[in-house]
Amino acid sequence: MDASVLRLAHPPPPGQGSDTIMRLGASPKAATCTGLLWHDRRPRPLNPGPKASEQVQDLWDYVANFAHTA
């Protein structure tokens, strides 16, 4: 399974959850970067592309399998 799928299932600890927004709030450069989606300190594409549907399915399968074994 792709590591990014597992990352969706395991969000960052509470102390790191606001890292990106805090950096954007403190950065003068952020005022010139409107309309972007930011995640993990960098802008991300607004359209995740065809790989996203595969990741969603992988995550769903992982959670469903975990639920059946718990």
pLDDT tens-place string over residues 38-54: 877 888 887 766 677 78
The answer to whether the Cα torsion of 60, 64, 65, 67 is positive or negative is positive
Residue 69 CA to residue 67 CA, distance in Å, equals 6
Residue 4 CA to residue 10 CA, distance in Å, equals 10
pTM, full prediction? 0.45
Helix ranges (DSSP H) in 1-70? 3-9, 19-26, 50-69
Share of the chain above pLDDT 70, in %: 74
Q: At 42, give phi and psi (nearest 5°).
A: -145, 155
